[in-house]
């Protein structure tokens, strides 16, 4: 596209970067990303999300974090997908406190957490044997009118079966009825 003087759209760049990342070519995706930035090509949040996710998946969490932190400097705002990617990466790296801080930052910046956000944090709490925090997160979910999905229910059933939480401690998610 560059050689033929045909201008590509942002969605085309996003697709290339996403395809490279999903097929394990993170280094190549990062190189393409850098080249596009040097050429002053417009990259949307989707391209950043793809690369941040790819970096997290190969254990380059520090680089992913730097890219995440650079968003405001390039005029972009992290969306719920961006936050979910970073929270998931931090949880997988054992950085529960930083993941929770990012969750709070997300809410403070007006980005509404979704079911994926809550499920990721709950699974991280379970891995850290912090089931009381799972109950807190369930209540927060209910307060924010986030509808539980099959994964949420699986988490709850698993904790109930293991007698790690009581049925009375779980919100009824009345707002969803």
Distance CA 80, CA 163 (A): 32
**Is 99 a residue whose pLDDT tops 60?**
yes
Please check whether residues 5 and 65 belong to one and the same domain: yes
Question: What's 109's DSSP letter?
Answer: T
Structure-model confidence comparison of residues 176 and 30, the more confident one: 30
Q: Which among 177, 125, 128 is positioned nearest to 156, based on CA atoms?
A: 125
Residues 115 and 72 in one domain: no
CATH number at 51 reads 1.25.40.10
Instruction: Supply the range of the domain harboring residue 107.
Output: 100-177
Q: What distance in Å separates the CA atoms of residue 2 and residue 41, rounded to the nearest whole number? A: 11
| 86 domain residue, yes or no | no
pLDDT at 32 over 70: yes
pLDDT at 3 over 60: no
pLDDT, position 85: 98
In this structure, what DSSP letter does residue 11 have?
Answer: H
> Looking at residue 43, what DSSP letter applies?
-
Confidence band of 177 (pLDDT split at 50, 70, 90): very low
In a domain, 93, yes or no: no
d(CA 113, CA 105): 11
Contact 83, 117 (CB under 8 A): yes
Pairwise CA distance, residues 47 & 42, whole Å: 10
Considering the domain architecture, whether residues 73 and 120 belong to the same structural domain is answered as no
């Amino acid at each position: 596209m560059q050689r033929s003087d045909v201008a590509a759209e942002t969605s085309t760049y996003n697709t290339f970067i996403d395809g490279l990342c999903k097929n394990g070519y993170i280094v190549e995706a990062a190189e393409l990303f850098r080249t596009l930035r040097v050429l002053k090509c417009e990259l949307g949040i989707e391209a950043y999300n793809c690369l941040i996710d790819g970096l997290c998946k190969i254990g380059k969490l520090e680089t992913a974090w730097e890219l995440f932190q650079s968003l405001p400097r390039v005029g972009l705002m992290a969306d719920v997908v961006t936050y979910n990617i970073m929270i998931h990466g931090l949880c997988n790296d054992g950085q529960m406190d930083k993941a929770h801080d990012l969750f709070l930052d997300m809410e403070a910046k007006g980005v509404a957490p979704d079911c994926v956000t809550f499920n990721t944090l709950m699974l991280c709490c379970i891995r850290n044997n912090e089931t009381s925090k799972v109950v807190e997160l369930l209540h927060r979910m209910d307060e924010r009118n986030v509808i539980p999905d099959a994964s949420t229910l699986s988490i709850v059933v698993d904790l109930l079966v293991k007698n790690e939480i009581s049925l009375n401690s779980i919100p009824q998610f009345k707002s969803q009825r």
